Structure 1
């Protein structure tokens, strides 16, 4: 992608985010995605090539880090049980149930193997709340829903990637079915990423005390965000979880060091610009990349899969929170519905789609088209619906 195209896309993002500041609850993600689809039909933009490495190694670490360090550690601690369940066991259960549902509803349309249906479910499971969190905080009386949605999205990306890697290996016949091997790999990748991120976050939180220059301190945050991610990937553990826990550890240490308030201001200023820049590029590129796969004959199936993903997510969340007394007291059924609705598909799903595309395997075009379609429906419908739904359920 050339510099001129990048600048033009950023300019579009600037316009849309400026409108968002002036109009309450303006649906930024779907607007940018729709503009991106339109740009695909302009010859200048139709040849844009974006690799999974750009999404994974350039966009994702920045988005994860800014969300993690801004997420108060006290909130994470308060809802740790629900967040941890939803981002681990909840993910596994969701993939199994959604994969089974996809396999069943696809039979009248086209034959998708069961492992292919599970692969689609793994792609569609990670959540990416983006601007939804700010809407939830404005609409709800407390931050419970926004905190659970944001905390879950930070942790479930790592689980989803490990699960996708395992299932795609079986689908592509490069890996045998071995539950024990999956559990061992999952624990190594996840716990290794968490440990690495925690250590890096603590070390860098101590290092900032050795300089009072805000510019140098912000440089350290860039090194922390991207350094922890890439080192973790090099060591074979989760770069996603490493960056997330590096940010969470940094947030925890800042909460104990009031004298570093000036650094948090500098960090917010820098990463605030980075966040909206990445989001602008990401959503526009999602539209441009998806457009080539959206002319196919199974939009009815895509709508059913989208509806099924919402139902399965609600069943998992409501089942866990309403059956356990300790969680039932914290989250009502209305809040479960809103948490379920707020789980948009986004950046990680796109990375997984591009990863599958990069394999060049036979028979994956339909899976790619279907998952692209479901991601787009999710971004448009759920982004637009979250404000009126929150007002209806909690207003």
Structure 2
């Protein structure tokens, strides 16, 4: 992508975000994806190619950091039980159940092994509610649902990468599966990333006291967002969780003091611009990239897979809230329905698809097409349906 192309995409994103201020219930990412699909037929933009490295190392760190930093620490502590369960055990259950169901129903549509079904399920489990959180808060008047949805998304991105990596190794016959090795890798990657994020987030919260220059303090936050991500990845632990917990730790530390209010204002202003810019580029690029994966022949099964993913997610969420008495009182079936519908697919799923394509694309064109088409269906239908559904149920 050239500098000129990037500037044009940013300008288009600016126009759409300006429009969204007038139509607050229309999610910006959905509009951007449609525009990106249309722009892919223009020769000037069709040459743009999106890679997994671009999404993972350029776009994800700032988006993860700003979401984590803004997440209310008191709400995280209040809902930590259900957030952690859904983002860990909930994902494992979802991948297992959804993968088996997809494998069972895939016969008339494509040749798919059980591992292939599980791999597809792992691609579809990470949630990306960035386009609907603000709509949820406005339409329901209750931030509890939005906090659970956003909190789950922050953690499950890291979990999904570990599960996907293990299943990809099995799918490509590069490794054998054992429960002990999977659990040890999962714990090492997850806990290692979490520990690094907490440590560096705490260090930054203390480090800003040594300078009263707001610009330097904001520069330090950039170093933290990208630095901790790459340090963690270089050490073989989760960069996603490291960045998330660095942001959460920073939010927690500044929630306890008013000493650095001027810093928080500068940080909010800077990262708001970065977030809008990154979202503009990311979803336009997803739309441009999606066209080469779309196949009409697989559209019907992609819709079936989307419906199945919603059913399995609803079962997991309602089952979770029914088993634990404390959670049952907090979340009704109506709220479970909203949480289910709000867990749409997005940037992390696209990264996993591109990672699969880069490592093992030959002979898997239909599986890639099915994955990308299902993600697009989820992104479009769920983001458009959040407002009317939440208004009807709550």
Task: Give TM-score, length-normalised by structure 2.
Answer: 0.99
Measured against aligned partners, the alpha-carbon deviations of 1:75-124 in whole angstroms (never above 9, x if no partner) come to: 00000000000000000000001101111221122221110010000001
User: Which residue matches 2:148?
Assistant: 148
Q: Which residue is 1:113 aligned to? A: 113
**Matching of residue 85 in structure 1 with residue 64 in structure 2:** no
Asked if structure 2 preserves the Cα contact closer than 8 Å seen for 1:64 and 1:240, the reply is yes
Question: What is the CA deviation profile of residues 135-157 of structure 1, one whole-angstrom value per residue up to 9, with x for unaligned ones?
Answer: 11111132110000000000000
> Could you say which residue in structure 1 is the equivalent of 2:195?
195
The equivalent of 2:254 in structure 1 is 254
Partners of 2:13 and 2:141 lie apart in 1 by 30
Deviations 1:260-291 (A, max 9, x none): 11111101100000001110111111111110
Deviation at 1:361, TM superposition (A): 4.0
2:55–2:347 CA contact under 8 A, matched in 1: yes
Q: State the partner residue of 2:71.
A: 71
Equivalent in the alignment of 2:308: 308
| 1:377 lines up with 2:373 in the alignment | no
State the distance in 1 between where 2:179 and 2:366 align: 28
Match of residue 209 from structure 2: 209
Q: Which moved more, 1:238-247 or 1:171-180?
A: 171-180
Residues 144-190 of structure 1 show CA distances to partners (whole Å, capped at 9, x for unaligned) of 10000000000000000000000000001111011111000000000
Does structure 2 conserve the Cα–Cα contact (< 8 Å) formed by 1:353 and 1:368?
yes
Most deviating of 343-352 and 97-106: 97-106
Structure 1 stretches lacking a partner, 5+ long: none
What does residue 331 of structure 2 align with? 331
Per-residue deviation, residues 206-256 of structure 1 (Å, max 9, x unmatched)? 000111111000001001111110000000000000000000000010011
The CA deviation at 1:362 is 2.9
Q: Distance in 2 between matches of 1:39 and 1:100?
A: 37
- 2-structure distance, mates of 1:24, 1:225: 29
Partner residue, 2:346:
346
Q: Match for residue 139 of structure 1?
A: 139
Shift of 1:47: 1.4
Q: Once structures 1 and 2 are overlaid, which stretch shifts more, 215-224 or 133-142? A: 133-142
TM-score scaled by length of structure 1:
0.99
Q: Is the 8 A contact 1:46 1:288 kept in 2?
A: yes
Q: CA offset at residue 296 of structure 1?
A: 3.9
CA distance in 2: counterparts of 1:164 and 1:279, whole angstroms: 24
- Judge conservation of contact 2:228–2:243 (CA < 8 Å) in 1: yes
Please, what is the CA RMSD of the aligned residues? 0.8
